[in-house]
Amino acid sequence: MQPIRQKTKLAAVLLTTLAMASAMTLAGCGAGNASYAPPAVMPPATAVAPDASVSGQYNLTLTSMTGRGTTGIFTNFTQTGKTFAGAGTTLVCPSNDPSQCQGSDPSAAPIIPTGTASGQNVIITISFPTTAGADTVTMTGAAKGTTLAGAYTDALGDSGAWTASSAFSPGGDYTGTFNSTANPMMIPANISMSLTQDVTFKLTGTATITHSPCISSLTLAGSPIGGAFTLKDTTNQASIVAIPNSNGINVDFSYKFDPAAPHCAGDLGRGTFAYIDPWAY
């Protein structure tokens, strides 16, 4: 009987010891869990939007909310980093009227718009003369691809909306009519013109004219300005300013001959070109 009692007592001690060890282990685990902190989860890095690209030939339109109509601006933007600037040949055309365009006179101070891009946000400033005095327009907006849009204010109390879009090269064939403002003709003259744009963006071409009492052809050279263009025939002392029509298809133009021109001296007038699509069958 004695050995059995000793074995029973030893088993009880072992059970007690195991129970205490288990309790200590669980307590230790509990303490460890209480002080354990999972690794911090870092939020995903926020992608930084690239600055808008505002480069190349552009047409801008200001639409007044105070009854001053629309104004077309045509320029070639060059961008460096966050800043961009238009060409010194920029045209500003109130009422989208080519005969009213500022910037086509080589003797006048150039009109040069400037801008900045921060992400897709853009700010453009341009100053130019008007019949009411010098004006400065500030445009704020955003880019969506090559299209820009936003709101503007100016120094003369005007405000409204503005849009801008990249323009196509004006090279190609055109046909149209024109009439003199100084000496109106009973039948408008016809004009057919072919323009080529080279790698330096210079335009050259010729024009054939019928039903004009004073000129039958022109040899032209000039430059694209956005979707607009200016041309000059130095021999005949004639100049043309052409801007996209509000319908987005045709081109309105104004022309003038210098007072000392060998033909049509002092004449001026207006007309419309239609672009001849070479792929239209």
Each residue's pLDDT expressed in tens, for the chain with a length of 281 residues: 444 444 444 444 444 544 454 444 444 444 445 455 666 666 665 666 789 999 999 999 999 999 999 999 999 999 999 999 999 999 999 999 999 999 988 778 899 999 999 999 999 999 999 888 899 999 999 999 999 999 999 999 999 999 999 998 888 999 999 999 999 999 999 999 999 988 888 999 999 999 999 999 999 999 999 999 999 999 999 999 999 987 767 899 999 999 999 999 999 999 999 988 766 55
Closest CA to 92 of 64, 57, 127: 127
Q: Hey, what are 270's tokens? A: 């207006």
At 207 the pLDDT is: 98
Residue type, 176: G
Query: Within a 10 A sphere around the Cβ of 219, how many other Cβ atoms?
Result: 15
Q: Hey, what are 175's tokens? A: 């046909």
Closest CA to 206 of 215, 214, 217, 190: 217
Closest CA to 128 of 152, 105, 102, 156: 102
**Burial environment of residue 184 by CB neighbours within 10 A (0 to 12, 13 to 18, 19 or more):** exposed
Angle (CA) 9-11-12 rounded to 5° is 65
Alpha carbon distance 230, 4 (integer Å): 121
List C-alpha distances in Å: 234 to 9, 179, 181, 238. Answer: 126, 21, 22, 7
Contacts of 1 by beta carbon, 8 Å cutoff, 6+ apart: none
At 55 the pLDDT is: 93
Residue with tokens 């700010």: 123
Alpha carbon distance 71, 69 (integer Å): 7
Alpha carbon distance 103, 101 (integer Å): 6
**Is pTM beyond 0.85 here?**
no
What phi, psi does 195 have (nearest 5°)? -120, 145
Alpha carbon distance 264, 135 (integer Å): 35
At 47 the pLDDT is: 62
Alpha carbon distance 70, 161 (integer Å): 10
Alpha carbon distance 7, 13 (integer Å): 10
